């Protein structure tokens, strides 16, 4: 086959189709996993009827949603109401073009010969920038969906979402800047390779950046404790109150796809992407038996688990508190962190190592102090009423 055609059309097309299918399916399965994990955290059963132990529950859900009546409110802006879920879904899937699931590998496919290609859609040299740009589009879908529903709850959800997503883009951006400074690359593949070359996952020098990124990521994906746009106890269902059937499912799936994106990006930037732990420590090389893709998936799964764990643990912020957290806490910290990381990066790799050591020693020491000085935090003493 024509090499140009193969590399420019066929392989990208195959990758795109696979990515979309896999991500959409995984997002569906993730709903089931979330329910099972939550159930476990909440000492109950969880869905266990469809299929063996409920493994087909997500299929049943999807089938139900597809065949459900698609209700459009009477005075809704029909066109936009129709378009909004797509506007949310599209960027959620598009970003998977840049996320590297594995390194460049060689495939020996009979009939085509040896193909050398990466386990990623494409390696854009401004990948991170593009990623941020594309994910920001999703907010339009949410705002428009909320507005077009002609419902006050949906409108409030949409507005909350707009403010929230725009606010949390900023600390997230700064957290990314820290990663860029450490890796000196905007390409996601480049960042992973930088971590391999440095022999250091960026979580070590970039723990603050990672924390900021993950918190903002949770906020970006509208998850507890930042799930204000759809806070069910306040806004019924927020921006998708008036959606039903498959369009609602599209909103739902894109939320889960966004979760995967955030986890994947966090993995790439801070946890060495597809690399095994301590990529340049020789005696750990037996870990290479596990293929890079599996490492990547494992790391992403861990993040997804943390997402669900958060959901099972925390109450929800109030809207003004959320904004205060974003603007008054996260953004100043993120700017300071950029300065800190920039100074360390100026010194090069030794700087990053020193930064890691300082940060982690401080963290561990802090936790030890907190543990030792753990005060009684319960009503018994606070109230002055003894047992």
Contact positions vs another protein (CB under 8 A): 38, 40-45, 48, 152-153, 156, 224-225, 227-228, 231-236, 309-321, 363, 366-367, 369-370, 373, 375, 377-380, 382-383, 385-387
Nearer CB in complex with another protein: 109/382? 382
Neighbour-count burial of 375, counting CB atoms closer than 10 A to its CB (0-12 exposed, 13-18 middle, 19+ buried): exposed
C-beta of 173: minimal distance to another protein in Å?
22
C-beta of 320: minimal distance to another protein in Å?
7
Q: Which residue has the tokens 């205060």?
A: 324
Nearer CB in complex with another protein: 293/302? 302
C-beta of 178: minimal distance to another protein in Å?
19
Which residues in 106-126 are b (16+ Cβ under 10 Å) and which e? eeeeeeeeeeeeebbbeebee
DSSP 201-251: -TTTTTHHHHHHHHHHHHHHTT-TTS-GGG-HHHHTTGGGTT--HHHHHHH
| Token pair of 228 as six digits | 């204000």
Nearer CB in complex with another protein: 281/380? 380
C-beta of 27: minimal distance to another protein in Å?
21
Measured from the Cβ of residue 362, the count of other Cβ atoms closer than 10 Å reads 11
| Token pair of 298 as six digits | 């494992």
Nearer CB in complex with another protein: 246/314? 314
CA-to-CA distance for 59 and 83, rounded, in angstroms? Answer: 25
Nearer CB in complex with another protein: 70/234? 234
Nearer CB in complex with another protein: 339/370? 370
Residue length of the chain:
387
Helix (H) or strand (E) holding 105: strand 104-109
C-beta of 50: minimal distance to another protein in Å?
13
C-beta of 195: minimal distance to another protein in Å?
25
């Amino acid at each position: 086959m024509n090499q140009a055609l193969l590399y420019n059309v066929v392989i990208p097309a195959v990758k795109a189709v696979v990515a979309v299918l896999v991500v959409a399916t995984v997002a569906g399965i993730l709903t089931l996993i979330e329910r099972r994990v939550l159930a476990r955290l909440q000492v109950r059963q969880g869905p266990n009827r469809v299929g063996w132990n409920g493994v087909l529950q997500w299929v049943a859900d999807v089938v139900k949603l597809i065949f459900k009546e698609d209700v459009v409110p009477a005075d809704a802006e029909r066109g936009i109401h129709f378009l909004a879920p797509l506007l949310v879904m599209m960027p959620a899937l598009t970003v998977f073009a840049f996320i590297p699931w594995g390194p460049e590998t060689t495939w020996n496919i009979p009939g085509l010969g040896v193909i050398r290609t990466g386990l990623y859609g494409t390696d854009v040299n401004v990948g991170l920038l593009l990623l941020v740009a594309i994910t920001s589009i999703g907010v339009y879908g949410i705002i428009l969906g909320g507005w077009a529903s002609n419902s006050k709850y949906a409108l409030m959800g949409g507005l909350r979402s707009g403010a929230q997503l725009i606010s949390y883009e900023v600390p997230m951006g700064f957290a990314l800047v820290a990663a860029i400074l450490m890796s000196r690359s905007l390409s996601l593949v480049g960042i992973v390779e930088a971590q391999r070359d440095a022999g250091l996952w960026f979580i070590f020098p970039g723990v603050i950046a990672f924390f900021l990124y993950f918190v903002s990521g949770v906020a970006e994906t509208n998850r507890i404790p930042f799930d204000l746009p759809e806070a069910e106890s306040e806004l019924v269902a927020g921006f998708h109150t008036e959606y039903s059937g498959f369009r609602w499912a599209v909103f739902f799936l894109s939320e889960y796809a966004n979760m995967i994106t955030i986890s994947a990006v966090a993995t790439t930037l801070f946890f060495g992407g597809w690399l095994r732990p301590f990529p340049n420590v020789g005696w750990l090389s037996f870990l290479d038996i596990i293929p890079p893709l599996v490492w990547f998936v494992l790391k992403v799964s861990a993040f997804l688990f943390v997402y669900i764990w958060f959901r099972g643990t925390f109450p929800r912020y109030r809207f003004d508190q959320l904004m205060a957290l974003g603007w008054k806490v996260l953004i100043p910290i993120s700017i300071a962190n950029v300065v800190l990381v920039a100074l360390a990066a100026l010194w090069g790799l030794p700087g990053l190592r020193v930064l890691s050591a300082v940060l982690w020693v401080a963290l561990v020491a802090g936790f030890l102090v907190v543990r030792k000085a753990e005060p009684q935090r319960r009503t018994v003493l606070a109230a002055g009423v003894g047992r």
